[in-house]
Structure 1
Amino acid sequence: MRYHPLTADDRALMLKKIGVASIDDLFADVPAGKLFTEPMDLPSGQSEIAVERALSAMARKNHAAGDGPFFLGAGAYRHHVPATVDHLIQRSEFLTSYTPYQAEISQGTLQVLFEFQTQVARLTGMEVANASMYDGSTAAAEAVMMAARLTKRGRAVVSGGVHPQYRDVIETVAVGVEIEAMPADPAGAEDIIAKIGKDVACVVVQSPSFYGHLVDLAPIAKAAHEAGALLVSVFTEPVALGAIEPPGAQGADIVVGEGQGIGNPLTFGGPYVGLFATQKKHVRQMPGRLSGETVDADGKRGYALTLSTREQHIRRDKATSNICTNSGLCALAFTIHMTLLGETGLKRLAALNHERACATADALARVPGVTVLNDTFFNEFTIRVPGDAAAVVETLAGEGIIAGLPVSRLDAAAPGDLIVVAATELSTDEDIAALAKGLEGAIG
C-alpha cells in the first residue's frame, strides 16, 4: 500500500469522473496487437529481506575505490569528504528542494548558490561565476559556444592535453552549432599558438592537463588576445587550484572545470558539478543562471535569480544556452566542504595531494622498465610501461590494485604503453608500496 495507496472505490470514482467504465477503456486507442495480453516475464515480488540479500550479493561483486590501493583519476578523484557534508546535504530543506523557481520563498537555496558562486570566482581568479553546470565536459562545450558568440567567429583550437571525453563533448556540440574544433599537439604551447588565426574564437587548454602536465597559460593567452581570440582554461581537479596560480591571473577569459573533487564522492561517475567562471564584461553571454544579491522593500539583504539566459526565461532567439538547471545538491556539497576547509585548509589539502603524488612518482620511477614522463605535475602524472598498459592495469586489478587509467582506453590514437596515475591525500605509504611492487611483478 505504500506505493499503491488507492482503493477500488478510489479508482471507480476516478473512472466515473473521466467518463469510462474500466481502466481497459483508457487504452482503447492503442491497437490491440500492441498491448500486452500476458504479464511480463519478470521475477515475482519478494520480501524486503530477500531483495536486500539479492542486491547485497550483486554489490559484493564490485570493487569499490576504498577496498584497496586506488590510483585512478583522469577526471574523477577519490578524496576524503567530511561526514559533515553528507549530514547537511541530507537535511530535507536541501535534499528535497527542486530548482528555485519561486525565488521569494527559496532564500536559503539562493544564498547557498550565491556563496558557491563567490567561492568558484575566487578559486579560479575570475570576476563572476554561475550557479554551476551539469559537469566539467558540458561546461567546456558551453564555453566554446560562448566564445563563438562573443567573437562572432567559428573556429576553436582544442589542445590535445584536454581530457579526451571533454574533447569529444566539445566536438559533438560544435558540429551542431557549426563551429570547427581544431586539434592541437598537447606537448607544448608552440603548436597551439601556431594555429591561432584571425578566424579563431577561442583556444581551449587544460592545466593540469589530462597527462598531468602543468601548463603556463600566460603566453597562450597573450597570443590568443593578440589575434582577438579568447582563452578557455579547463581543469578536472579543483583541488589543484589550491596550489597553482589561478587561471584568471594567467590571462584566461573563461574558466571551466569539474568540481567533483571537493565535497562529492565518486558515485560511479555522477552526478557531478560543473564550474563556470568568466570576466564581468562577458556575463551576459554566460550560460546557466546566476543568484544575485539585492535588498528587499525593507532594505534587508536578499537574493534573486538574475540573468537566467535560457529560453524558458527569455525569448528563444536571445537564449545563450539550453542548459536547464544547475547541479544544486552537488554545488551545495562543494560549498559546505569548501567552507569547512577555508583558504588555509584548501592550501594544506593541495600540498598533501602533491606530496603524495611526488612519493608515488618517486616509487614508480625506481621500478625497472617504468618511466615517469612528467617534469611538472600536481597529483596526477603519466608513466610508460613495457608492453600493453591495459593488460598491466588489468593484471593489477586482479590483485585488488587499481593502478590508474590506460590512456588508450579513452584515446585510441595514443600510445598503448601509457598509464595516467593519480594520488590523493588518501594514498597511503602502504598503497604506494603495493602499487610499485605490483607493477614490478606485472611487467616482469
Structure 2
Amino acid sequence: MRYLPHGPADRAHMLETLGEPSIEALYRDVPAAVLQAAAFPDLPDHQGERAVEAHLAALAARNRPAGAGPCFLGAGAMRHHIPAVVDALVQRGEFMTAYTPYQPEISQGTLQALFEFQTQVALITGMEVANASMYDGASACAEAGLMAQRVTRRARVLVSGGVHPRYAATTVTLADGAHEAVEVLAPDPLGIEDLIGRVNHETACVIVQTPDVFGRLRDLTALAAACHDEGALLVAVVTEPLALGLVRPPGAMGADIVVAEGQGLAGPPSFGGPGVGLFATRAALMRQMPGRLVGQTVDEDGRRGFVLTLSTREQHIRREKATSNICTNAGLVALALSIHLALLGEEGFTRLARTNHALAVDLATRLARLPGVRVLPQAFFNEFALLLPVPAGPVVETLADRGVLAGVPGERLWPDYPELAEVLLVAVTETTPPADIEALVDGLKEALS
C-alpha cells in the first residue's frame, strides 16, 4: 500500500525479532469480538452534521460522569471542585494557542506563568527547584528513577509496595532501555515492609509514596537518612497534591526528588486525564533534572524577563546525551493548577486540605462500625483502605447497580495478588455531600448483611 512504508520483508523481520510467527499471533491477546479483520472496515455512509452529533452524544451518554451520583473513586485520580474562573482563564487565546516558548521575546506571558507554576510546586513540595511540569505523575516517577541513576551512577532502584502500581509499572517500562535494575516490592496494606533494611551501596534510589496507594501517611525522615548514609537518593511520590496543604512536605523530611500528579487541582478526573506531572528537586541536582526549566533574568534595559534555561538538557543540543526524551511540558494543565493555587492562597489551600481530611475521618469512623469492616491505615489524608469480610469486587458492582461508585477494589489494581481481593480503596473530597456519604454507608451495610 502506497502510504505504508513497511514492505513484507520489513514486517517479517519485525515479527522474527519479536519471536512471533505471524501478525495473527502478535494480536492473539485482542478479543476476537473487537479485532478488525478487514483492512477496510465497512463504515456507514456519510451523514449530516446534526445526525453525527446526535449519534456521538448517544455514545457519550453510555458513560457515567463521576459527578453524576455518589462517587468515592480515587487511587490516583481525585475529584475536586475547580472554580469556573480557572477554565475561563486557561481558554484565553493567549494561552490556548501559545506555541513552544523557545522565543522568549514573544512568549513572556507563557514563560512567566510557568515560572509562577514552578515556584508554587517548589513551595508545596518543600524543595528548592521545580521544572515546568511533566506529562503526568507516572512518567515523572519513572524519570526520577533515571535521574537518580545518573546522579549516583548506580543501577538499582527500589520501589516501595505502597507506590501506585501504575507508577511502578511505568518506572519498570522506562528503565528497561536504560539498563536499570528496578525492584518493585509486593503491595503492603499493613505497612510492615522494611525499606531501610534493603538500602545498600548499590542502591540508586528508593521510591516511596505518601500518602501511599492505600492512603497511609508516611514519615520519610528515617528512610531519607538511611538512603543518604548509603549514598542513595530518596524519591517521594504524591498522587494527591492537596495533601501537601496539610501534611509535612517531603522536602522537609529529607527527600531528594519529589514527583506528583497535579490533576486533582487542575481539572476533573475525566477517566484518568489529562494529567500534569510535578517534578521538584534540590538545587544541587538541578542540572540532572529532566524537562524544561524556566528562569528569571533581566534584559539589556534592566527589566525583569523570563527564558528557558539550562538548555544543555535539550535533545537539540546534547542529542543522545540529553537527560531525558522529555522535550515539552503539560503547559495548559500546569496553568490551570497554578491559577487554582493562586485563587486558594496559602490559607485556602490548608483550609481545603483540612476539610478533606475531616470528611475522610468521619466516613472512616462510620464504616469501621459496620460488622466485619476494618480500616487499615491508622493515619490517612482523604483516602483510606477498607478490609471487607468478603471480596470487594462484587460489593462494588452491587452498589454501582444502585448508582453508588463505592471505590476501587484491590483486585483492579493488583490482579496478581488475590490476597488483596477484600481490600477496597475509598476516597472522599470536598465534592462529597452528606447525602452521598449516607448512601455509601447504607449501601455497604446492606451489601454486607
Indicate conservation of the 8 Å contact 1:263/1:338, yes or no.
no
Offset at residue 443 of structure 1 (A): 2.0
1:174 is aligned with what amino acid? A
Return the offset for 1:263.
2.2
Q: Which residue is equivalent to 1:252?
A: 255
Match status 1:228 vs 2:241: no
| Structure-2 residue corresponding to 1:159 | 160
Shift of the alpha carbon at 1:113? 0.4
Separation (CA, whole Å) in 1 of partners of 2:70 and 2:80: 13
| Cα distance in 1 between the residues matched to 2:370 and 2:209 | 29
The residue that corresponds to 2:25 in the other structure is: none
Do the aligned residues in 2 keep the contact of 1:310 with 1:323 (CA within 8 Å)? Answer: no
- Quote the Cα distance in structure 1 between the aligned partners of 2:40 and 2:76: 44
How big is each residue's C-alpha offset from its partner over 1:75-109, in whole Å with a ceiling of 9 and x where there is no partner? 00000000000000011111112321222210000
**Structure 1 residues 30 and 369, CA gap change in structure 2 (3 angstroms):** closer
Distance 1:59 1:196 in 2: 49
Larger Rg: 1
Instruction: Indicate whether 1:441 and 2:446 are aligned.
Output: yes
CA distance in 2, matches of 1:119, 1:168: 28
Tell me the distance in 1 between the aligned counterparts of 2:185 and 2:373.
27
Within the candidate set 424, 427, 430, 1:425 is matched to 430
| CA–CA separation in structure 1 for the residues paired with 2:53 and 2:292 | 41
TM-score (norm 1): 0.90
CA–CA distance in 1 between the matches of 2:66 and 2:122?
A: 31
Instruction: Note the C-alpha offset of 1:184.
Output: 3.5
Unaligned runs of 5+ in 1: 1-25, 32-37
Residue of structure 2 in register with 1:386 after alignment: 389
The gaps in structure 2 that reach 5 residues or longer are 8-38
Is the counterpart of residue 132 in structure 1 residue 124 in structure 2?
A: no
Secondary structure of 1:314's counterpart equals helix
Residue 61 to residue 39, structure 1, CA distance change in 2 (3 Å): closer
Write the mapping of 1:65-214 to structure 2, written as runs, cut at 5 A: 65-184=66-185, 186=188, 187-188=190-191, 191-214=194-217
User: 2 CA distance for matches of 1:47 and 1:318?
Assistant: 52
Whole-angstrom CA distance in 1 between matches of 2:66 and 2:143:
31
- What's the secondary structure of 1:191's corresponding residue? coil
Per-residue Cα deviation, 1:376-410 (whole angstroms, up to 9, x for no partner): 10000000112221111111111110111011111
In the superposition, the TM-score normalised over structure 2's length comes to: 0.89
Once residues 192 and 131 of structure 2 are traced to their aligned partners in structure 1, the CA distance between those partners, rounded to angstroms, is: 29
Letter in 2 for 1:391: P
- Name 1:7's counterpart in structure 2: none
Q: Is the 8 A contact 1:184 1:192 kept in 2?
A: no
- For residues 166 and 39 of structure 1, the distance between their equivalents in structure 2, rounded to whole angstroms, comes to 37
Match of 1:13 in 2: none
Q: Does 1:297 align with 2:297?
A: no
Selected match of 1:339 from 325, 339, 342: 342
C-alpha separation in 1, matches of 2:303 and 2:384: 50
Conserved 8 A contact 1:151-1:229: yes
Q: 2:265 aligns with which of 241, 251, 262?
A: 262
- Amino acid across the alignment from 2:87: D
- Measured after TM superposition, the shift of residue 372 of structure 1 is 1.0
CA-to-partner distance for each residue in 1:274-303, whole Å, 9 max, x for gaps? Answer: 000000000000000101000011111100
Aligned partner letter, 2:235: V
Per-residue deviation, 1:228: 0.6
Q: Which string of whole-angstrom CA distances, capped at 9 and with x for unpartnered residues, describes residues 11-67 of structure 1?
A: xxxxxxxxxxxxxxx98x999xxxxxx986222222222222212222221111111
Is 1:358 aligned with 2:361? yes
Which stretches of structure 1, 4 residues or longer, exceed 6 Å deviation after superposition?
Answer: none
Match of 1:282 in 2: 285
Alignment of 1:373 onto 2:376: yes
Partner of 1:16: none
Length, aligned pairs only: 414
CA distances 1:95-134 after superposition (whole Å, capped 9, x unpaired): 1123212222100000000000000000000000000000
Work out which of the residue numbers 333, 353, 377 in structure 2 matches 1:330.
Answer: 333
